[in-house]
Amino acid sequence: MNINYPAEYEIGDIVFTCISAALFGQISAASNCWSNHVGIIIGHNGEDFLVAESRVPLSTITTLSRFIKRSANQRYAIK
């Protein structure tokens, strides 16, 4: 099952999200921006795009759909 997104994305695209944890809220306030977390599209697994991100304690790879679901109100932007 392929996941359909409203636009075509490419490897190297940056995904901006908003994590609702307190520390991330401070990042948003300090930067005066709704976004406080980013990932980068690094591939596709046949069903969904793969996103590399920094997470405590290490960096990881997750699907774009899971990455978006963690964002407050599932808000995201891709550039």
Please report which confidence band the pLDDT of residue 2 belongs to, taking 50, 70 and 90 as the band edges.
low
Half-sphere exposure of 36 (CA within 13 A, CB side): 19
Are the C-beta atoms of residues 34 and 28 closer than 8 Å to each other?
Answer: yes
Give the residue extent of every domain in the chain.
14-78
pLDDT band at 13, cuts 50/70/90? very high
CA-CA-CA-CA dihedral for 44, 57, 33, 18, to nearest 10: 60
Q: Is the pLDDT of residue 24 over 90?
A: no
pLDDT tens for 34-64 read 998 999 999 999 999 999 999 888 999 999 9
Question: Using one digit for the tens of pLDDT, what is the confidence trace for 14-23?
Answer: 999 999 887 7
- HSE-up of 60 (CA within 13 Å, CB side)? 9
